[in-house]
């Protein structure tokens, strides 16, 4: 695959505006599937939907079962509207890029968790089928925090041929796709709350037509650094050289010097840069190491990870400095994600190829469970079937029992995942972790996330 390294004119984002807006559907057409009373509440009920597993509180009498609606997912940012100003103004008022509006977030009402917001379908959208994305038509934006870091100069859109860093939330999956996941075994890692970054190595021009055992020329490897949606120009940072004393466990390398009577290693630190993304990955030596790895192995890959630390998403990990945690490596040539095993092998290889003087060593995201199966036990299946039989005993429709059995199985599977997602951040800080990511062991392209409700409730 050839990378065209031509600069294109892209509107520069303001430094206070995060360019990594989500591409996920924020507003969708749906149908009310159930309305459940809330204990001690006379004016509100809990609504369920046909298109996903999220549930939210609605006014009693506002909807009936089978009514059509527009469902707004958490982190939707809605413009002021007289139709819902009185409902949202108390708890959801925010400003996004200078514009007032309402941020939809996870809340509790009368002790009931509510995730999302529902309104009647506008007349002009009544004929749209369930699941239709109406985010753009309704002017809904993705809520983002003002950023405390520098983006740098944008030179183009995110490169084609590499997937953007995004995971589907398990609660947004329909029943069919969720049930299909039960046949997989997953590796579970912690989902870190930061800003995503992709570092990729790609040929500038095609390799020679004649097969050769020689490595690719280093100067024919383009290394790019991207936010979630944009590629950034490599800056010319201001640096300063330090001497860092070696530990007893450190092996001496060529270039180490004696300073103050101690064996030291020269460390080059970036003092000032106009791109936090390039700044961080250079501290790990990733651009140089990736260029070497691609040339030696004659492969094109993209390393994807999360930048976390001061100035990013309120730094819930409590890190003293910005760090980069690798969560995926994508094989550009074969258009697939690599397995966890091969991913770790490449991370180790990149660590060995770093230039001298790098502050940090490349590493992956924290592991929670090396192997986790979603397949229900025989006992779980029996209990779900018993519940379905009890709840559908008076129903005449032949398919009612099967539909209820699947619904119960789905609900309990999601509940298990939500319990697994609950926990504290790996650093030991007294903060709930953002959630977890599950990646199939045998099919690395299959993955999804589960958000921690405890973290969502604390999110202002």
* Domains recognised in the chain with CATH numbers: 27-142 (2.40.50), 154-164+223-364 (no CATH), 170-190+368-458 (no CATH)
Nearest to 57 by CA among 43, 69, 68: 43
- pTM exceeds cut of 0.85: no
Nearest to 149 by CA among 319, 314, 311: 311
The per-residue pLDDT for range 319-352, each reduced to its tens digit, is 999 999 999 999 999 999 999 999 999 999 999 9
Handedness of CA 312, 315, 316, 317 (dihedral sign): positive
Q: CA neighbours within 13 Å on the CB side: how many for 115?
A: 20
Q: What is the pLDDT of residue 98?
A: 80
Separation between Cα atoms, residue 26 and residue 77, nearest integer Å: 9
Q: Taking the chain, what is the end-to-end CA distance rounded to the nearest angstrom?
A: 43
The per-residue pLDDT for range 119-167, each reduced to its tens digit, is 999 999 999 999 999 999 999 998 877 666 788 889 999 999 999 988 8
C-alpha distance from residue 440 to each of 176, 188, 452 (Å): 17, 9, 20
Q: CA neighbours within 13 Å on the CB side: how many for 188?
A: 17
CB 192 within 8 A of CB 317: yes
Handedness of CA 281, 287, 292, 297 (dihedral sign): positive
Residue that the structure tokens 């405390």 belong to: 148
Nearest to 318 by CA among 185, 440, 430, 399: 430
Separation between Cα atoms, residue 2 and residue 193, nearest integer Å: 33
Separation between Cα atoms, residue 273 and residue 153, nearest integer Å: 11
CB 285 within 8 A of CB 358: yes
Longest dimension (CA), the chain: 88
3-state secondary structure of 332: coil
Task: Give the DSSP letter of residue 61.
Answer: T
Residue that the structure tokens 């030991």 belong to: 428
Distant-in-sequence, close-in-space partners of 415: CB < 8 Å, separation ≥ 6: none
Handedness of CA 210, 211, 214, 217 (dihedral sign): positive
Nearest to 449 by CA among 228, 227, 196, 190: 190
Each of the 460 residues of the chain gets a pLDDT tens digit; together they read 444 433 333 333 333 333 333 346 899 999 999 999 999 899 999 999 998 889 999 999 999 999 999 999 999 999 998 888 878 877 788 888 788 999 999 999 888 999 999 999 999 999 999 999 999 999 999 887 766 678 888 999 999 999 998 888 998 888 888 888 888 999 999 999 999 999 999 999 988 778 888 899 999 999 999 998 899 998 876 666 767 788 877 878 777 888 777 888 877 666 556 889 999 999 899 999 999 999 999 999 999 999 999 988 889 999 999 999 999 999 999 999 999 999 999 999 999 999 887 878 888 999 999 999 888 766 767 776 777 777 666 555 567 767 777 777 888 889 999 999 999 999 999 999 999 999 999 899 999 999 999 999 887 6
Nearest to 222 by CA among 299, 291, 301: 291
Separation between Cα atoms, residue 266 and residue 258, nearest integer Å: 10
Encoded tokens for 349: 């290889």
CA angle 171, 172, 178 (to 5 degrees): 70
């Amino acid at each position: 695959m050839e990378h065209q390294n031509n600069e294109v004119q892209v509107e520069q984002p303001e430094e206070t505006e995060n360019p990594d807006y989500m591409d996920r559907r924020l507003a969708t057409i749906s149908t009310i599937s159930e309305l459940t009373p809330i204990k001690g509440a006379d004016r509100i009920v809990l609504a369920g939907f046909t298109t996903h597993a999220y549930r939210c509180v609605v006014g009693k009498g506002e909807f009936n079962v089978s009514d059509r609606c527009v469902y707004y997912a958490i982190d939707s940012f809605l413009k002021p509207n007289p139709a819902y100003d009185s409902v949202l103004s108390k708890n959801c008022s925010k400003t996004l890029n200078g514009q007032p509006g309402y941020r939809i977030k996870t809340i509790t009402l009368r002790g009931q968790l509510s995730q999302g917001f529902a309104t009647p379908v506008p007349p002009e959208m009544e004929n749209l089928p369930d699941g239709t994305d109406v985010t753009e038509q309704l002017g809904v934006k993705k809520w983002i925090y003002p950023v405390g870091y520098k983006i740098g100069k944008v030179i183009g859109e995110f490169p084609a041929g590499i997937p953007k860093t995004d995971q589907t939330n398990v609660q947004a999956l329909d029943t069919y796709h969720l049930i299909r996941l039960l046949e997989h075994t997953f590796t579970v890692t912690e989902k870190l709350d930061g800003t995503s970054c992709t570092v990729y190595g790609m040929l500038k021009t095609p390799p020679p037509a004649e097969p050769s055992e020689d490595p690719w020329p280093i100067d024919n490897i383009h290394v790019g650094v991207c936010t979630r949606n944009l590629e950034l120009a490599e800056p010319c940072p201001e640096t300063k050289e330090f001497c860092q004393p070696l530990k007893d466990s450190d092996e001496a390398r060529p270039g180490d010097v004696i300073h103050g009577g101690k064996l030291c290693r020269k460390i080059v630190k970036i003092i000032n840069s106009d791109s936090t993304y390039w700044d961080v990955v250079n501290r790990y030596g990733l651009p140089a190491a990736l260029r070497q790895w691609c040339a030696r192995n004659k492969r094109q890959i993209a390393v994807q990870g999360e930048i976390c630390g001061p100035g990013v998403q309120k730094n819930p990990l409590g890190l003293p400095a910005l760090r980069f945690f690798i969560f995926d490596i994508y094989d550009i040539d074969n258009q697939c994600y690599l397995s966890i095993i091969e991913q770790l092998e490449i991370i180790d290889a990149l660590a060995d190829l770093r230039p001298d003087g790098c502050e940090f060593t490349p590493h992956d995201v924290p592991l929670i469970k090396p192997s986790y199966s979603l397949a229900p036990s025989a006992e779980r299946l029996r209990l779900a079937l018993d519940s379905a039989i009890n709840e559908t005993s008076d129903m005449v429709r032949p398919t009612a029992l099967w539909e209820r059995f699947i619904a119960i199985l789905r609900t309990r599977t999601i509940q298990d995942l939500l319990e697994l997602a609950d926990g504290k951040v790996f650093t030991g800080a007294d903060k709930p972790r953002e959630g977890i990511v599950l990646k199939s062991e045998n099919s690395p392209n299959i993955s999804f996330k589960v958000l921690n409700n405890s973290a969502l409730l604390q999110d202002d």
